[in-house]
Amino acid sequence: MKIQLFIILFISLNIVLKAQFVSDSLEFKNDSLISEKNVYLSLNFSPFLRNNEYFNELYDGITFIGVNLNPYLSYKFNKKLLFHIGWYGRLFNGRADIYINKLFYRCTYNFNNNLKFIMGYIYGYEFHHLIEPLYSTDYFYFNKPETGLQFLYNNDHFKSDLWLNWEKFILPGDNYKEEFIIGNSSKIRLTNKFSHINVVIPLNFVAKHKGGQIEINTSPLQTYFNWAIGTDVSLRLNKKTYGINNYYVQFNDVSPYKILRYTDGFGIYTNLYVLFPKIEIYSGFWHGEYYFSPIGEPLYMSLSKKYVFYEEPEKNLILFKLRFKQLEFNNTFIAFQVECYYDYKRNYFDYSYGVSIKLSEKYLLKKLTFE
């Protein structure tokens, strides 16, 4: 049933969004430059600081400071098949243990120049370009990298990212539920990519499932759907981009036994933005009613993660985001950012700031030849 659901979603939704900061995608770009029959050593190093200063009744502020390390060996068997194997680690400053310590592997199969299939560690988190009401930035710091399956499609008028992130695997007798996420982030470009005016129809979808048939845990099965559809219109002038996007966002609880106070809700999400070569500026508004997402940014929710019985059925936020970014030597990306959220009805002013450096480099170790 799970695989059937995945295939149906791929067919029906395979038809990236400017409401989050633009992803740098250095690792993805480096993978596309690997040549056949060569062994490479790839190094991915990304120290980070994110400080959430939150003063509301929905979600506690927290500071994340540390580094992600991801060295791996790469080999491209032919023009279609690429394999990585290595290690992934995440360390937080001030902790003696390694927070994430995992064997890393990824297998990429190129059906053609437009369609890729990935198994293992997929390109996740900010690479999906999901809007905040569906996918929280903090989700990256709490969780291990996404693992599962992914289809990536890209041409001049259509782009799609469909993935299955298997978070918890169970065996017979386990006392916890299996958990996985199915998601799709797509956009349809209605204008020519060389046009000064760009019109895009974006579509986001995320389903979070917690269940299983072979475990002994008797807690109820849970399945939550969140989706968004909108428009994104932008104008490019002299290396600057001016734009506006609007989304309708929906939440539905399709669990057989409901444990939440809300079974469905919605939101309206609007952003004005200006993109300079090194600066991104966003100003927006969120109006939500009975909205919930298990992996969305908690500041947009109507249900609290701090207090079991606290709720804000109607939610209004004024948003402002600013990021300075710099790409150095085509392998190092540095960014400073500030994000502000103001709930004028409850007089909450929450903000976060951070800095991150991403280095992604590859080295040719050996050219292999076979008889």
Q: For the chain, how far is it from start to end, CA to CA, in angstroms?
A: 44
Written as one letter, the residue type at 230 is G
Reported in sequence order, the residue ranges of 23-62 that DSSP labels E, i.e. its strands, are: 38-53
Q: Which residue has the tokens 């809700």?
A: 265
Domain encompassing residue 49 = 2-367
How, if at all, do strands 197-211 and 240-253 pair?
unpaired
Q: What is the pTM of this model?
A: 0.87
- pLDDT at residue 312 tops 60: yes
Say what the pLDDT of residue 12 is.
35
Q: Number of structural domains, the chain?
A: 1
224 within 8 A of 254, measured Cβ to Cβ: yes
Q: Please choose, from the candidates 294, 18, 70, the residue with its C-alpha nearest in 3D space to the C-alpha of residue 183.
A: 294
Mean pLDDT in residue range 239-256: 94
Residue 66 confidence (pLDDT) = 96
Span 162-181, mean pLDDT?
89
Give the CATH number for residue 338.
2.40.160
* pLDDT average, residue stretch 169-190: 90
Mean pLDDT (the chain) is 88
CA 155 to the chain's CA centroid: 21
Q: Copy the structure tokens of residue 298.
A: 């908690």
Cβ contact 267:285 at 8 Å: no
Closest to 215 measured CA to CA, from 150, 263, 170: 170
When mean pLDDT is compared across 103-107, 173-177, 231-235, 286-290, the lowest value belongs to: 173-177
Q: Contact at 8 Å (CB) between 249 and 268?
A: yes
CA distances for 139 relative to 1, 106, 134, 192, 213, angstroms? 27, 21, 11, 35, 27
Q: Are 242 and 274 in contact (CB under 8 A)?
A: yes
Question: Would you say residue 2 has pLDDT above 50?
Answer: no
The pLDDT of residue 105:
96
How much is the average pLDDT of 247-272? 94
- Spatial CA neighbour of 209 closest among 223, 195, 197: 223
Asked whether residue 28 carries a pLDDT value surpassing 80, the answer given is no
